[in-house]
Structure 1
Amino acid sequence: MVSTSIRRAAAKKLRANATPHERTLWRALKDLPLEGSHFRRQAPIGPYIVDFFCPGKRLIIELDGGHHNEDDVAKRDLERQRWLEGEGYHVIRFWNSEVMGDLTAVLERIYVELYGSRDAKSSPLKHRRT
């Protein structure tokens, strides 16, 4: 297993070199008026670094570019997702084109994942350290 300091350094480097799609979603997540729905970006979890993470719901959001269609990358994504879900996290994935093409629909899906429905009122989420 890679040491914690190395994973943190890698996460910091990824945050500094975010893709345009990641920057767009990050700005939108920060602007959401969701009480207690704190998100982290490029967060280390176990042996992985996830794109976005809401500790209060153990929700992971992954953004995928076209290279995620390739067999070997898709296989690694599936293994990674299975490991994260086995640790009690919930993973949702969006294509980069979804973020750029219909950000409102992406944010609605995230809201539903956090609170159960589009009509649910936001409520404070308790954060757990990971």
Structure 2
Amino acid sequence: MTALLTIERARELRRRMTPPEARLWVCLRGKRLAGLKFRRQHPIGPYVLDFYCAAAKLAVEVDGSSHERSEQIAHDARRTAWLREQGVRIVRLAAEDVRVHLDWVVDFIKRTALERCGG
């Protein structure tokens, strides 16, 4: 996928966030989480990350049931390997956990991001 197509895809995904993504974005946007800047639907290489914190090189992915299909599992594994090569840590969270355990999810993201930032 070319950079221009990736950027266009990111723009489209921003317009069509899932309810769990939108719910988590409320907690991450505007440096609300420990002063860390997160971007939503952030393009990096050929991929678009649900949420990305550049300072921590941390990607947060909210996975729904489509991520349980074998072809999606294989795609996610390739994507994770590529991102690791770039020094990006991936945190995968179930959409259901975002819906039911939002406080825990936000705390986990905060602790992980701060550890990656050296704090």
Structure 2: how far apart are the matches of 1:33 and 1:56?
13
2:53 aligned residue = 54
Query: What residue is the counterpart of 2:6 in the other structure?
Result: 7
Code of the aligned partner of 2:37: H
Structure of greater Rg? 1
Gaps of 5+ in 1: 117-122, 124-130
Q: Are positions 1:80 and 2:79 aligned together? A: yes
Cα 1:43/1:98, change in 2 over 3 Å: same
Code of the residue aligned with 2:84 in structure 1: it is: E
Q: CA deviation at 1:67?
A: 1.6
Q: Which runs of 5+ in 2 are unaligned?
A: none
SS at 2:52 equivalent: strand
* TM-score under structure 1 length normalisation: 0.83
Give the ranges of 4+ consecutive aligned residues of structure 1 lying more than 3 Å apart after TM superposition: none
Instruction: Indicate the SS of the match to 2:43.
Output: strand
Residue 5 (structure 1) shift = 2.1
**Structure showing the higher helix proportion among its residues:** 2
CA distance in 2, matches of 1:4, 1:87: 16
Match in the other structure for 1:126: none
Q: Which amino acid counterpart does residue 55 of structure 1 have in structure 2?
A: A
SS of the residue corresponding to residue 74 of structure 1 reads helix
Paired residues for 1:33-112 under 5 Å: 33-35=33-35, 37-112=36-111
Where does residue 114 of structure 2 map in the other structure? 115
Structure 1 residues 99 and 5 mapped into 2: Cα distance closer, same or farther (>3 Å)?
same
Give TM-score, length-normalised by structure 2.
Answer: 0.91
Give 1:17's aligned residue. Answer: 16
The number of residue pairs the alignment matches comes to 116
Aligned mates of 1:66, 1:91 — CA distance in 2:
18
For 1:73 and 1:66, the matched residues in 2 are separated by 10
Percent identity between matched residues is 31
